[in-house]
Structure 1
């Protein structure tokens, strides 16, 4: 936390952009330093993510990719995932995002496929809220990992 708080604004923003590809979010989170602890930083990051303007949220969503499949995933799984993601992108105009960092590697594929299939039934406004929440969770997980690794 000390290194992150002491970093230059440019370095902090660059590090934050690895957590969420949103320049406005990165500037806002970096500007409010210093943070007394990780919980305070995560709360500020959450608030900034909730406040993302629509265009910036869509740009951040578009910068995301599907979670990687385990190395031993069979080719039919890749085909099913690619087809489901294509249907999702066609319906909602951005890639599917879902937080999977808390899952065991062998649970990721089923969780992602189930998530895409169930969320395809959402109306656009409901999916806007769900995808925004997943984007926030991704940023939060990456930020926690970034600071835990001692990179900042």
Structure 2
């Protein structure tokens, strides 16, 4: 396996189902040894921000619904499963699950991508409050907010993989 292939295999999932971010970061020459969470995050965020709006929308759409069908079917990525479980989203009451389902549907219909929030350090009540607040944003506001959350999720995932340096 080449260094590039190794990098993409290791970090291609940092931006959910979007290995092109890791590929472009590596190919751009912005990745330096020793690998650090901060250095890789800066490179990958630069690539994400330079991607076309359609590509960034694709990254947003690659994220699963919170407590949605993929979670119920056990089909989340390992990172997403662990993140959602850490916030208690795998232990919702039937009423809470129904509220998340309704919000997921309304949000996706309004914005064209799932609700995205870095759930680490939040509980299900805080997530639900953010959901109910953000659903009233304009499409442009929410695209920016969701993109910022994707960048935060990437940072948290990298921090779990590498030293801060």
Following superposition of structure 1 onto structure 2, how do residues 1-152 of structure 1 map, counting pairs within 5 Å? Answer: 8-20=3-15, 21-31=17-27, 32-36=30-34, 37-65=36-64, 66=66, 67-68=84-85, 69-103=88-122, 107=123, 109-147=124-162
The answer to whether the 8 A contact 2:24-2:47 is kept is yes
Distance 1:123 1:70 in 2: 26
The answer to whether the 8 A contact 1:22-1:57 is kept is no
How far apart are 1:70 and its partner, in Å? 4.2
In structure 2, runs of 5+ residues without a counterpart are 67-83
TM-score between both structures, scaled by the size of structure 1: 0.80
Distance 1:93 1:71 in 2: 24
The answer to whether the 8 A contact 1:88-1:95 is kept is yes
Deviations 1:103-142 (A, max 9, x none): 3xxx2x1122112111111111111110110111111111
**Alignment size in residue pairs:** 139
User: Once superposed, what is the RMSD of the aligned Cα atoms?
Assistant: 2.1
How far apart are 1:71 and its partner, in Å? 4.4
TM-score between both structures, scaled by the size of structure 2: 0.74
In structure 1, runs of 5+ residues without a counterpart are 1-6
Distance 1:35 1:119 in 2: 39
Judged with a 3 Å threshold, the aligned counterparts in structure 2 of structure 1 residues 128 and 71 are, in CA distance, closer, same or farther, namely closer
**Quick check: 93-102 or 34-43, which moved more?**
34-43
